[in-house]
């Protein structure tokens, strides 16, 4: 079969594919591949823009291992199989009085892939999905099944963001929270207004994110409706805050009140190729002003909105938020055009801010920058070599960074 990701910028044909029905079959497949000296990668829902799935060996499709298998309201934990989509968590958790602590605006990713690449929502009081992982069950290169929990903090922090390099995940345990409802406040604000009130917007709200729109046409590319207002050089701001049971549900556009999982998701068309870098929060205004100037100089290559979010710190070795809260800066290239010059300009600019990368988004990270920017990268590499000495779970994209 030929595998293609959701936006069509990554396509390859592996030597073999398999759809294991349970963990025992994963063990057999991995052990067989090891005996043949064959590489193994796992396909998630295909939402990565980088070639993290690509392999010339065995590609595993884990779709048969899907579902929330346990909830523990007392400990605020949920256990799920690797192909469980983010939206699969909604009803089982809510019925148990629970919810995901935070999430992004796309909810069709598989949880193992979302965790492996550091997928996140927005808000400095909350980590990425990876930061909520409290247990990982995986099949290593030797065919051994390892249960990694909080009693092995170093290995757990390596496994929280592993880009699939430690083994095949067969189960995850997440720390969740009590069920909560949100009120949204969505609307246009000027660039100067947002930057003037930046600290307040970040600190005062559970969720703050925005899209800066460089042209009048930018909003439609991400299905952002200005309802007739001018869009050029405006910020489409999204603020979400928790509300109590005394606040009724509300379907008013831009001011909805509902269960958290009904507020977070947005609808995107697969019409963009995205780069996403993370800058320490205390440098955010400076970095954002520089990005706006670059994008105005780079039109029309930079026509897509500049998306801005924040994420709280965590301890995962390869996390973009390791040890620090960050501002997330996302830009996109237009499919069918040569957008690489523009994206390299973004990379060069944000390199001056010591930006880390999203493992599932386009980036230009080198081994030298990896070791300089991720304080625990060498520890991750050592653990990866211990669990997979032959590099079975590496591919041509990951090998230069992590071999």
pLDDT tens string 347-394:
999 999 999 999 999 999 999 999 999 999 999 999 999 999 999 999
Asked whether residue 120 falls in the same domain as residue 173, the answer is yes
Q: Is residue 46 within 8 Å of residue 6, measured between CB atoms?
A: yes
Mean pLDDT (whole number) for 281-290: 98
Write out the DSSP string of 31-100: HHHHHHT--EEEE-SS--SSSSS--SSEEEE-TTS-SEEEEETTTTEEEE-TT-BGGGGHHHHHHTTEE-
Q: Return d(Cα 121, Cα 264) in angstroms, integer.
A: 9
Asked whether residue 170 falls in the same domain as residue 185, the answer is no
Asked whether residue 203 falls in the same domain as residue 105, the answer is no
For residue 1, is pLDDT > 90? no
- How confident is the prediction for the chain on average, in pLDDT? 97
The domain that holds 44 is classified in CATH as 3.30.43.10
For residue 139, is pLDDT > 90? yes
Mean pLDDT (whole number) for 39-62: 97
- pLDDT tens, 192-235? 999 999 999 999 999 999 999 999 999 999 999 999 999 999 99
Q: What is the pLDDT of residue 152?
A: 97
Range of the domain at 11: 3-61
In a domain, 158, yes or no: yes
- pLDDT tens, 259-269? 999 999 999 99
**Percent of the chain whose predicted confidence (pLDDT) is above 70:** 100
In a domain, 351, yes or no: yes
Asked whether residue 211 falls in the same domain as residue 319, the answer is yes
Asked whether residue 144 falls in the same domain as residue 264, the answer is no
pTM score of the predicted model: 0.95
Write out the DSSP string of 331-359: EEEPTTS--HHHHHHHHHHHHTTT-EE-T
The domain that holds 122 is classified in CATH as 3.30.465.10
* Element of type H or E holding 261: helix 260-263
Asked whether residue 73 falls in the same domain as residue 218, the answer is no
Number of domains in the chain: 3
Asked whether residue 218 falls in the same domain as residue 140, the answer is no
- pLDDT tens, 80-130? 999 999 999 999 999 999 999 999 999 999 999 999 999 999 999 999 999
């Amino acid at each position: 079969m030929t595998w293609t990701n959701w936006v069509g910028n990554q396509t390859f044909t592996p030597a073999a594919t398999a759809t294991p029905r349970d963990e025992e079959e994963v063990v057999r497949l991995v052990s067989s591949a090891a005996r043949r000296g064959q590489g193994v990668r796992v396909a998630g829902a295909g939402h990565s823009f980088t070639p993290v799935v690509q392999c010339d060996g065995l590609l595993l499709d884990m779709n048969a291992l899907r579902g929330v298998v346990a909830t523990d309201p007392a400990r605020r934990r949920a256990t799920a199989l690797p192909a469980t989509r983010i939206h699969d968590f909604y009803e089982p958790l809510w019925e148990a009085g629970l919810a995901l602590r935070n999430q992004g605006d796309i909810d069709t990713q598989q949880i193992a892939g979302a965790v492996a690449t550091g997928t996140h929502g927005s808000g400095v009081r909350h980590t990425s999905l990876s930061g909520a992982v409290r247990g990982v069950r995986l099949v290593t290169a030797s065919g051994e099944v390892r249960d990694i929990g909080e009693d092995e903090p170093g290995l757990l922090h390596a496994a929280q963001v592993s880009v699939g390099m430690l083994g095949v995940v067969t189960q995850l345990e997440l720390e969740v929270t009590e069920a909560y409802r949100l009120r949204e406040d969505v609307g246009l604000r000027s660039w100067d207004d947002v930057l003037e009130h930046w600290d307040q917007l970040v600190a005062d709200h559970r969720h703050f994110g925005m899209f800066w729109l460089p042209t009048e046409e930018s909003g439609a590319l991400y299905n952002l409706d200005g309802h007739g207002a001018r869009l050029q050089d405006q910020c489409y701001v999204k603020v979400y805050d928790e509300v109590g049971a005394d606040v009724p549900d509300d379907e008013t556009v831009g001011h909805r009140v509902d269960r958290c999982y009904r507020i977070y998701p947005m609808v995107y068309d697969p019409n963009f190729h995205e780069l996403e870098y993370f800058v320490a929060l205390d440098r955010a205004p400076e970095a954002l002003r520089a990005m706006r100037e670059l994008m105005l100089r780079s039109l029309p290559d930079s026509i897509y909105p500049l998306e801005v979010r924040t994420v709280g710190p965590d301890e995962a070795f390869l996390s973009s938020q390791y040890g620090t809260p960050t501002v997330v800066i996302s830009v996109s290239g237009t499919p069918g055009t040569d957008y690489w010059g523009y994206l390299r300009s973004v990379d060069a600019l944000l390199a001056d801010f010591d930006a880390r990368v999203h493992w599932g988004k386009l980036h230009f990270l080198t081994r030298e920058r990896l070791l300089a920017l991720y304080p625990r990268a060498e520890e991750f590499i050592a653990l990866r070599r211990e669990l997979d000495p032959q590099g079975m779970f590496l591919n041509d994209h990951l090998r230069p960074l992590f071999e």
